[in-house]
Each structure stands twice: as C-alpha cells, then as structure tokens.
Amino acid sequence: MSYKLLKANVLPVKQKHEMTIVTLPHIGNCDVITAQTETGHNQEFYDKESTFHYIIVSGGGSFFLDDQEVQVQKGDYLSVAPKTRIYYKGKMELVLITNPPWKEENEVETRSVLW
C-alpha cells in the first residue's frame, strides 16, 4: 500500500490540563499530537530530553518559557529546547511535534495549577 489513512474516530483522544489532545502515530523519531484549548496549558513543566515544536494552526496567545513571555498567533512556529519550563495561555489549536518522542518519565511538573 502506498499510503496510510487513520480516520479521526479511531485516534486516541484525552483531556489534559484544560486541553483536548489527539495523539497521532510516530513519524520517524518524532511524536505528533494536535491540541485544542480555550484557555491554555494550565501546568508548568519541562521535558528532560525532547525538543517541543509547536505550530499554531488557529488562534493565539502567550507561551511562558523560563518565565519569558513569547506571543504567538496563527501560522507561527515555536521550537522549545529540552529543560525549558513551559506553559501557555490563550485560545489555540496547535500541532506539537516532539523529538525524540515524548516519554512520560521525562516530563517534570514544576507547577501543577497556574490559574
């Protein structure tokens, strides 16, 4: 077969820190998710190993990276290095690519609830 199609109704969906997350299959040495949020990611964390690549599909808001505010809007691309503290606010739909693939044991929560 020359292509692979996964219908939306078979992809895993979960709720996490005020976000709806859809996990897509691995692509090479990357994980890919889509996320939608009305308010942002209500948890500050960092990842020990993965670089986080965000593509803002719609909406906008502010990412807080090691306490520095970075404003984003539709069409922006943001790359966040490992060990950078991350949280964000805003109404957004985004694609997140992690490289290497995200592992739960590499995520360190620094603040559980921000608002």
List pLDDT tens digits, range 19-38.
898 988 888 899 999 999 99
pLDDT value for 6: 86
**Does 2 map to a domain?**
no
pLDDT tens digits, 44-54: 999 999 999 99
**Does 26 map to a domain?**
no
Residue 98 structural domain: 51-102
- Strands, E, within the chain: which ranges? 13-16, 19-27, 30-37, 40-47, 51-65, 68-73, 77-80, 86-99, 107-111
In this structure, what CATH number is given to the domain that contains residue 82? Answer: 2.60.120.10
Q: Give me the number of domains the chain comprises.
A: 1
**Does 18 map to a domain?**
no
Asked if the model's pLDDT at residue 16 lies above 90, the reply is: no
pLDDT tens digits, 69-109: 999 999 999 999 999 999 999 999 999 999 999 999 999 99
**Does 64 map to a domain?**
yes
Whether 8 and 2 have beta carbons less than 8 Å apart is answered as no
